[in-house]
């Protein structure tokens, strides 16, 4: 098996004065992905999604290889930059997936431009957090223990350049906002977008019980637990993750109707 993301090609697009890097693969309905606080890291889930959709995974300004971002002041601002980045790729409407920190960006984007987002997927979103929740940090091993339920089954995380870490942490701290964001939550009550929230049953970054708050707030929200996964669901249970995400993107709330075939012998 090749490394995750081998089929993805790199591109750049201009938005709000930022040069935004993205990775793209696949054809079909567009699926835009916004990464977590650790930056863009392609997983086996991206590969599986790219078999069904045109996947565009952005690196948000200030993360990873991009220049330090001292300009963006708030999460709503970051969200509108990412909406413009999608526009620059001629994506008028698209499905939007946000992971952890990027889950909050995605929620803001959908709240600002609901007409552009066909369906919203939130992987272990960090928009609602208990007091004192901190994103994973430390050595790659320490990070892995926070991110994964079974770190021993995952490839080792790469060491992070201290300069990248410093600029990213400052940005995350500035943008992530409070654990309960009254302004955002008020908007969520009126969010018309079909929304799927996923939590791993063994998430040790954000308690999976936060999922029920999204379900409570967002009118068209579905909550799904992915058994035996930690915070990085797409890395740990890619098939289970992509099956339900793909089904939701294609069928929205009708995804509750099973299409599984149980005939054993015709």
Partner 1 sequence: MKVSFFETARYRAPQALPSEWPVPSGAYDPETGARAYRDMIARLEYVEELGFDWVSVSEHHYSPRILTPAPIVSASFIAAHLKKIKIALLGPIVPQSNPVRVAEEIAMLDTLAQGRLVVGLLRGTTNEYLTYDLNPAEARERTDEGMELILRAWAEPQPFGWQGRHFQYRQVSIWPRPLQQPHPPTYALGTSRESCEFAARNRLGCGVSYGSFESVGRATRYYREQCARYGWTPTPEQIVYRANMLLAETDDEAEAQFRQLPNQRPFTMRPGVTDALNKLDSRNVAGQARAPIVGGALPTTFVGGPDTVVEQVRRCRDEVGAGVLDLSLHPPGSSDLDPLMRALDLFGAKVLPRIRDV
Binding of partner 1 at residue 256 (CB under 8 A)? Answer: yes
Task: Give the contact letters, 164-203, x = binds to partner 1 (CB under 8 A), - = no.
Answer: ----------------------------------x--x--
123 and 234 in contact (C-beta within 8 Å)?
yes
Q: How far apart are CA 233 and CA 68, in angstroms?
A: 28
- Nearest distance from residue 229's CB to partner 1, in Å? 8
Select from 41, 54, 187, 222 the one that contacts partner 1 (CB under 8 A): 222
Question: CA 180 → CA 16, 130, 160, 224, distances in Å?
Answer: 28, 8, 29, 21
Binding of partner 1 at residue 227 (CB under 8 A)? Answer: yes
Which tokens go with 231?
Answer: 């915070």
In the bound state with partner 1, the residue whose beta carbon lies nearer, of 165 and 212, is 212
Pick from 220, 200, 216: nearest CA to 208: 200
Give the binding range for partner 1 (CB under 8 A) out of 79-87, 96-104, 105-113, 250-258. 250-258
96 and 109 in contact (C-beta within 8 Å)?
yes
Binding of partner 1 at residue 240 (CB under 8 A)? Answer: yes
Which tokens go with 9?
Answer: 């090609």
Place of tokens 């599984």: 260
In the bound state with partner 1, the residue whose beta carbon lies nearer, of 156 and 264, is 264
Place of tokens 């021993």: 152
Backbone angles phi, psi at 126, to 5 degrees: -105, 20
# residues contacting partner 1 (CB under 8 A):
23
Q: How far apart are CA 127 and CA 108, in angstroms?
A: 10
In the bound state with partner 1, the residue whose beta carbon lies nearer, of 170 and 213, is 213
- Nearest distance from residue 95's CB to partner 1, in Å? 18
Select from 141, 142, 186, 216 the one that contacts partner 1 (CB under 8 A): 216
- Nearest distance from residue 236's CB to partner 1, in Å? 11
């Amino acid at each position: 098996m090749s490394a995750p993301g081998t089929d993805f090609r790199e591109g750049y697009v201009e938005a709000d004065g930022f040069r935004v890097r993205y990775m793209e693969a696949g054809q079909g309905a567009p699926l835009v992905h916004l990464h977590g606080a650790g930056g863009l890291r392609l997983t086996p889930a991206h590969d599986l999604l790219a078999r069904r959709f045109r996947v565009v995974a952005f690196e948000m300004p200030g993360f990873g290889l991009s220049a330090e971002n001292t300009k963006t002041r708030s999460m709503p601002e970051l969200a509108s930059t990412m909406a413009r980045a999608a526009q620059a790729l001629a994506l008028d409407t698209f499905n939007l997936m946000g992971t952890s920190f990027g889950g909050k960006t995605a929620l803001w984007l959908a709240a600002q431009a609901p007409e552009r987002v066909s369906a919203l997927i939130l992987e272990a979103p960090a928009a609602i957090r208990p007091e004192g929740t901190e994103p994973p940090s430390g050595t790659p091993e320490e990070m892995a223990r926070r991110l994964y339920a079974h770190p021993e089954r995952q490839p080792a995380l790469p060491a992070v350049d201290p300069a990248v870490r410093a600029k990213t942490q400052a940005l995350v701290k500035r943008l992530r906002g409070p654990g309960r964001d009254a302004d955002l939550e008020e908007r969520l009550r009126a969010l018309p977008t079909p929304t799927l929230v996923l939590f791993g049953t063994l998430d040790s970054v954000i308690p999976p019980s936060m999922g029920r708050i999204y379900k409570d707030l967002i009118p068209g929200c579905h909550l799904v637990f992915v058994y035996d996964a930690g915070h990085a669901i797409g890395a740990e249970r890619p098939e289970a993750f992509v099956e339900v995400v793909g089904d939701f993107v294609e069928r929205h709330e009708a995804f509750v109707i099973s299409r599984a075939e149980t005939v054993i012998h015709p």
